[in-house]
Amino acid sequence: MKKITIILLLILLSAPFMAAQETNEETPFYACDLSLYDSPNDEGVNVELEFTPGNTAAEVPQYAIDLYIDGAFSNTIMVKNAGALFLHTIPVDKSGTLVRAEVFAYDAQGQRQGPIVVKEATSAAQWYFSDRLGAFIWSLAFIGLIMVLIRKAKRGQEIFIRRIAGLEAIDDAVGRATEMGRPVYYIPGTSVIDDIATLASLNILRPVAQQVATYETPFSVPIQDPVVLTVAQDVVKEAYMAAGRADLHDEGMVYLASVGQFAYAAAVNGAMVREKPATVFLLGMFWAESLMLAETANTVGAIQIAGTDSTSQLPFFIAACDYTLIGEELYAASAYLSREPLLLGTLKAQDIIKGAVIISLVLAIVLMLFGSDFIMRIFLQ
């Protein structure tokens, strides 16, 4: 009772001075919406700030946000009241940093009021990308399945693989070059080694080189990227040795034609017109140069066996080449050609995962018809 009296007295006394503030306490005049939170999916060096003004620009033309990092004042951000959401990312040095934001309002007279809102947040490092978790689990399942199927394949279980026309044609295409006494060209795409398509192509290069070595046909592998060059040199050399024709191997077969896609295309087009290969392999990742190489090969009368995982270049290969490996057929080629049980096992695993993906697609669609996004959340996240 005594306390209340004192408070009442105090309020009465201060009333003339604090009239403005008093109304504030009931329904605060200055308003804004501030949220401060740790940035998701990072190593803990950012805190996100979202700020929406709550007053009109006439009432509060400008806000100021004071930032404190681990208790020490860092800087002030001035925000013009545009009536719109203001986003800011606050960089900090390390994870576990405490960030405090205090919002002040500048009234029409330019007086600083507040702090009207204070918020805190601690930056934190995340241990996994929440949005990549689904893909990670699928990949783990894929790896497990490959292990199981490889074991089966090692025990000698037959694995059926359908016919892939483009790969069946390799034999004839190399044979044709031999008969005509003209060279075989192998172009492993124009990308770098980071591109898995390049690796897939280098995996096909080995059996092709072996074939060429056995038939004693001239061989040429022009390359665009130095790292790919070193790998391709090894592949071709070992293939010639495996075919027992190390004597035919020449270091100059695999060479750097040029760097840069169009300079490469210019050089290879020139080489093709001059040497008139009978067979040209275009396997790997291509960009706009795909059609230049394919058309020039056609002009000199070569059979072209093409394959790429670039969907934008596939139409050109389909139109201009004799045989085309579409997308995943390129990746399946090394298993198909070698018939090695280990590789065939992974191909089977790939089909099973694909089946699972199709089934989840169908289930997700059916469940969506009933308004449930269960599959979407769990399997297709």
Partner 1 sequence: MKTPWYEKIMSLDKKVLYVIMFVVVMIPLLARWTYNPAVMPEVKDIYDEIEGIYTYNQSHPDTPQGILLSFDYSPSTNAELDPMTMSVLRHAFMRRIPVITWAAFPDSIDLAKNITTFIAKEYGAVYGKDFVFMGYPYPMTAAVIAFGSDVRNFLVKDFYGNLSTALPLLNKIYNYKSIGLIVTVSGTSYPRFWVTYANTLYGKKIATGTTAVSAAEFYPFLQTDQMIGMMGGLRGAAEYEKLVQALETQVIGEDIGSYLRNLYNDAPEGVWDTKIYTPGFSEEELQSHLSTRMSARTGMASQASAHFYVIFLIILANLGFFLSRRAENKR
Partner 2 sequence: MMLFWYTIAVLLSLAIFSFLWKDNPLYKFAEHLFVGTMVGYQVVMVFSQIIMRKIVDPITVAFDNSQILTLISLVFATLIGLLFLARFSRKAEWVSRYPISITVGFWSGYAIVASFKTSVLTQIRGTVVDDLGQPLLNGHLIGDFFKNPSLKTLDLATAGPLLVFGVIVVLVYFFFSVKHDHPIIKFANKPALFYLMIGFGASFGYTFMGRISLFIGRMNFIFNEWWPLFKQTIGG
Partner 3 sequence: MEGVNLMKRTLPLFLAFFFGLIGIIVQMVPALKGLLDTMLDWMAIIAAFALAVGISSLTRHHMTKIRRKHKDIFFSYVTFIAMFFMTIIGLVGYFRPEGALQGLFENMYNYVRVPLDASMFALLAFYITSAAYRAFRARTWLATVLLLAGVIVMVGRVAFGPFIIFNDITAWIMKVPTTAAMRAVNVGIGLGIVATSIKIVLGIERSYLGGGE
Q: Which residues bind partner 2 (CB under 8 A)?
A: 131-132, 134-136, 138-139, 142, 159-162, 193-194, 196, 199, 227, 230-231, 233-234, 256-260, 262-263, 266-267, 269-270, 273-274, 311-312, 314-316, 318-319, 326-329, 332, 347-348, 350-351, 354-355, 357-358, 360-362, 364-365, 368-369, 376, 380-381
Q: Counting contacts by CB under 8 A, is residue 272 touching partner 3?
A: no
Q: Counting contacts by CB under 8 A, is residue 88 touching partner 3?
A: no
- Write the binding mask 201 to 240 for partner 3: x where contact by CB under 8 A, - elsewhere: -xx-xx----------------x-xxx-xxx-xxx-xxx-
CA distance linking residue 81 with residue 322, whole number of Å: 65
- Indicate the residue among 49 and 235 with the shorter CB distance to partner 1: 49
In order, the DSSP letters of 222-253 are EES-HHHHHHHHHHHHHHHHHTT-GGG--GGG
- Indicate the residue among 123 and 269 with the shorter CB distance to partner 2: 269
Q: Which amino acid is at 158?
A: E
Q: Is residue 92 within 8 Å of 45, Cβ to Cβ?
A: yes
Q: Which of 7, 10, 13, 85 binds partner 1 (CB under 8 A)?
A: 85
Q: Which of 8, 57, 85, 143 binds partner 3 (CB under 8 A)?
A: 143
CA distance linking residue 240 with residue 250, whole number of Å: 10
User: Cβ of 103: how many Cβ atoms within 10 Å?
Assistant: 25
Selection from partner 3, partner 1, partner 2, none that 78 binds (CB < 5 to 8 A by kind) is partner 1
Q: Give the strand order in the sheet containing 112-122.
A: 72-80, 62-69, 98-106, 112-122
From start to end of the chain, where are the E strands? 32-38, 46-53, 62-69, 72-80, 86-91, 98-106, 112-122, 184-187, 219-223, 254-256, 279-283, 303-308, 323-326
Distance from the Cα of residue 47 to its chain's centroid: 25
- Indicate the residue among 7 and 318 with the shorter CB distance to partner 2: 318
- Indicate the residue among 11 and 366 with the shorter CB distance to partner 2: 366
CA distance linking residue 269 with residue 198, whole number of Å: 20
Q: Counting contacts by CB under 8 A, is residue 254 touching partner 3?
A: yes
- Indicate the residue among 296 and 350 with the shorter CB distance to partner 1: 296
